[in-house]
Amino acid sequence: MADAEEKFKAKLARQSTTLDAAVAEYRRRYTREPPKGFDAWFAFAQKNGFKMMDEFDGLMEDFEPFHALSGVEFRRRVQQVSSLPSIDIVRVRNGKGSAVNMEKGFDDSEASARAHGFRRMIEPFQSTLPDLDFPINAKAEGRILVPWEHQKYPNLTYQDSSGGVKSMLGDFTPDWRGTGNVWEAYRRTCDPASAARRVFSSLRPSVVNRTTRALYSVESDPAQEFSFAESTDANYSFCENPWAHYYQGHFFSDWRTIPVLYPVLSPAKSVGFGDIKIPSHYYHGSTPKYTYGWDSVNMILKDVDDMEMPWEHKTDKIFWRGATTGGGSSPPGFSHQYQRQRFVKMVNDMSKTEHTVVFPDPSGSGQYLSSVVPASALNSELMDVAFTVAVDADNYPGGWEAMQRELRFSDPVPLGEHWAHKYLIDVDGMSYSGRFMAFLASDSAVIKSTVYQEFFSDWIQPWLHFIPLSSTYKEIYNIHAYFSGPSQAALEAANVTSPHERPALHDGDRRLRRIARAGKHWKRILGRKVDMEVYVYRLCLEYARLWADDRDSMNYVPS
């Protein structure tokens, strides 16, 4: 936590405060000139109190492969990908943006939601943009998976799309229809020497079962339960750990991925995907389910949510409610081990399975003790986690009856119910979690587990603004013990039972509250709607340069 605070302070302190400094830093980082309009973007960002002038490495990485394409090729690919299912267009003409729902003969309940969100994000500066078309992913999941060979040797294949979209993709369908799956497409993005490209090691059931026991059971090395994650798993290598794909739902999405370098703007992506990240429409918009402080009666945003409560009145339980989203059923039979299902199952385990919990010595010696505590006792005392909605229950192994038997379900709650708890868990769904910004805005501390990168990934600091949780979730009991002290069951297992021997909390609760406050402060200074607009403005300038035939003419030239 101390390191995280120092890193973030240092990052803030080194940001450019003048246009000349920002131009110099851009040249240093990216070895090219800034894009045309960079001065107007800088003025817009500075006027709105933007804090991270130089931190756009993730955005630049997203765009880098497209610099190998000519302007005419880039525009042609925009037109082609726009003809595919679940890709919509935000079109800028004469300085005004519009969302175009492309009619492709495919019924899609989500069509245009993200496109309309992006259109709203460009409104403050759309009058400064040239005519452009932006292909917007209508889905939450990443879409672009370019095989390794085409990434490394683009001049050999897929360099010229003049033959049309069919020459690039063949007979493209909206879903897999039994002809493939995301994992098969994903592992082709890996280096040929990686484990994922070796089919036997990638798919062999005995490897999967052995790895499951070693890394996902609670009977493995207790030291792993005490090892806190330094950050989220957004840079985790599924290429080197192919067995892990069985435990992440996006590898089972029903929606077909695209194996060609097409520009598609998506709200999040994991390592290996070629999408261009944009802010989520859930973050930028205001809705009762996704926005802290939203008054849907008066249609205003409040600084303090009506259901917020003082820290001292919040419970110490770890709280989560949500739907069983997390992946599709291509292939079927794996949904019981997707990320949300694993978490809900683990923290509602009422068996005698044991966890090792570490906590300060009650005698005040300054040492730490460990005790072995049954999962049933820990989960009863510490956890309040349940599903509220069953999605695609027919494809759960054993169907709805098995889902009810294996997973805890509870009544739906309003978003504001979360604010009654000090700890809020944020777990990936079909893709990123759309409630993260709302959780940060509250006076509760966020524990986040994710394998996704988002637009703000360069701006936020784990262990300062939120608590990162590994994809195994195993260290969650020791996270709680560190901040809130040992549970009654942990004390009893350590033979500390009488009330006067129960240790006073060390400064864990103060530190937890500090994380909650830091997360809330981050949301107020870097997670604002205008910060998202600053990001998208910068994205549009880079995009406009790629769109042009003469890219040198689209460089920024100081006056």
Per residue in 494-524, pLDDT (tens digit) is 887 544 444 445 689 999 999 999 999 999 9
**How much is the pLDDT for 498?**
46
pTM: 0.93
Residue 209 has pLDDT above 70, yes or no: no
Q: What distance in Å separates the CA atoms of residue 66 and residue 544, rounded to the nearest whole number?
A: 12
In this structure, of 95-109, 433-447, 455-469, 540-554, the range with the lowest mean pLDDT score is 95-109
**How much is the pLDDT for 521?**
98
Per residue in 93-114, pLDDT (tens digit) is 999 999 886 555 444 445 578 9
Average pLDDT score over residue span 50-57 = 98
Neighbour tally for 510: CB within 10 Å: 10
Q: What distance in Å separates the CA atoms of residue 216 and residue 343, rounded to the nearest whole number?
A: 11
**How much is the pLDDT for 106?**
47
Q: What distance in Å separates the CA atoms of residue 234 and residue 448, rounded to the nearest whole number?
A: 11
Backbone angles phi, psi at 91, to 5 degrees: -110, 130
**How much is the pLDDT for 137?**
95
Range of 14-18, 171-175, 219-223 with top mean pLDDT: 14-18
Q: What distance in Å separates the CA atoms of residue 80 and residue 166, rounded to the nearest whole number?
A: 9
**How much is the pLDDT for 220?**
46
Per residue in 274-323, pLDDT (tens digit) is 999 999 999 999 999 999 999 999 999 999 999 999 999 999 999 999 99
Whether residue 185 contacts residue 257, with contact meaning beta carbons closer than 8 Å, is answered with yes
* CA-derived radius of gyration, the chain: 24
**How much is the pLDDT for 500?**
46
Q: What distance in Å separates the CA atoms of residue 317 and residue 484, rounded to the nearest whole number?
A: 10
Instruction: Check residue 231 and report its DSSP letter.
Output: S
Q: Which helix (H) or strand (E) holds 373?
A: strand 368-374
Tokens 């419970």 belong to residue: 315
Query: Which one, of 446, 333, 352, lies nearest residue 398 by Cα?
Result: 333
**How much is the pLDDT for 210?**
34
Residue 346 has pLDDT above 80, yes or no: yes
Per residue in 251-277, pLDDT (tens digit) is 999 999 999 999 999 999 999 999 999
Per residue in 227-259, pLDDT (tens digit) is 888 888 888 899 999 999 999 999 999 999 999
174 preceded by cis ω (within 30°)?
no
Q: Residue 203's pLDDT band (boundaries 50, 70, 90)?
A: low
**How much is the pLDDT for 528?**
97
For residue 155, count CB atoms less than 10 angstroms from its CB and return exposed for 0-12, middle for 13-18, buried for 19 or more. Answer: exposed
Whether residue 510 contacts residue 273, with contact meaning beta carbons closer than 8 Å, is answered with no
Q: What is the C-alpha end-to-end distance of the chain, expressed in Å?
A: 44
**How much is the pLDDT for 219?**
43
Residue type at 353 in one-letter notation: T
Handedness of CA 168, 174, 176, 179 (dihedral sign): negative
Tokens 């493995």 belong to residue: 220
Instruction: Check residue 362 and report its DSSP letter.
Output: T
Q: Which residues pair with 467 in a beta bridge?
A: 447
Q: What is the mean pLDDT of the chain?
A: 90
Query: Which one, of 496, 477, 480, 479, lies nearest residue 488 by Cα?
Result: 496
Three-state SS string across 312-352, please?
A: HHCEEEEEEEEECCCCCCCCCCCHHHCHHHHHHHHHCCCCC
Residue type at 76 in one-letter notation: R
Q: Residue 153's pLDDT band (boundaries 50, 70, 90)?
A: confident
Give 323 or 158, the one with higher predicted confidence.
323
Cβ neighbours for 65, distance < 8 A, ≥ 6 positions apart: 146, 151, 154, 261, 274
What is 233-260 written as a DSSP string? STT--TTT-GGGGGG-GGGG-SBPPB-S
Q: Which long-range contacts (CB under 8 A, 24 or more apart) does 433-439 make?
A: 434/280, 434/282, 434/283, 434/290, 435/282, 435/289, 435/290, 436/283, 437/282, 437/283, 437/290, 437/291, 437/292, 437/523, 437/527, 438/290, 438/291, 438/292, 439/292, 439/519
In this structure, of 10-19, 80-89, 105-114, 288-297, the range with the lowest mean pLDDT score is 105-114
**How much is the pLDDT for 218?**
37
Q: Which two tokens stand for residue 32?
A: 């090219």
Domains recognised in the chain with CATH numbers: 2-224+234-282+529-549 (no CATH), 289-526 (3.40.50)
Residue 527 has pLDDT above 90, yes or no: yes
Give 365 or 20, the one with higher predicted confidence.
20
Tokens 């969100």 belong to residue: 117
Dihedral, CA of residue 513, residue 516, residue 520 and residue 523, to nearest 10 = 150
Residue 441 has pLDDT above 90, yes or no: yes
**How much is the pLDDT for 182?**
97
Average pLDDT score over residue span 193-210 = 62
Q: What distance in Å separates the CA atoms of residue 25 and residue 27, rounded to the nearest whole number?
A: 5
- Measured CA to CA in angstroms, residue 539 lies from 60, 121, 321 at distances of 9, 11, 34
**How much is the pLDDT for 362?**
72
Residue 433 has pLDDT above 70, yes or no: yes
Strands 421-427 and 445-449: parallel
